[in-house]
Amino acid sequence: MRSRRSISDIVAVVLLIVIAIAAAVIIYMWLSGLIGTIHTSTSATQVKLEITGASVTYMSATGKPSNYTVTAYVYNPPGSPSTSIKVGELEFTNSTVICTNSTPLTTPSTITPSSTATVTFQCIVSSPLPAGTPVEIVLFTTEGVQVTYTTSTS
């Protein structure tokens, strides 16, 4: 009887050790997977694009809606990862959207660090804006970073 009781004590200790080791392995795998994805993914806080210049030019067409060509010169500084522009918007300075264009006409597929790219898209509005109206050009990257530049219509 006594020997059977000591065997069950040994089995209990072995089971506790196995459970502790299994828990430690699971926690290690979870943490290493979590830390691995943080270090390998491009964080939105790492993207530091700048718009160095821009223009909003009115293109008149008889009998058609008002058409603006929006051009922005985007600089990707050294140390920032390569990125691309996904959406371009033209807004009033109070953040009211004038138009949105998710298919920029001219933009490189990726903007590499230490390079400048030209992003051009069309903006169609129902009536022309007065020349000199202050507007904001807002560009969104594939990582969700928003870059804004204030200029006026011409």
SS (H, E, C) the chain: CHHHHHHHHHHHHHHHHHHHHHHHHHHHHHHHHHHHHHHHCCCHHHCCCEEEEEEEEEECCCCCCEEEEEEEEEEECCCCCCECEEEEEEEECCCCEEEEECCCCECCCCECCCEEEEEEEEEEECCCCCCCCEEEEEEEECCCCEEEEEEEEC
Please give the pLDDT value at position 105.
62
12-29 pLDDT tens trace: 899 999 999 999 988 888
Please give the pLDDT value at position 42.
52
**What integer best gives the mean pLDDT of the chain?**
82
Please give the pLDDT value at position 20.
96
Mean pLDDT value of segment 75-90: 87
Query: pTM of the predicted model, to two decimals?
Result: 0.67
Residue with the bigger pLDDT between 9 and 103: it is 9
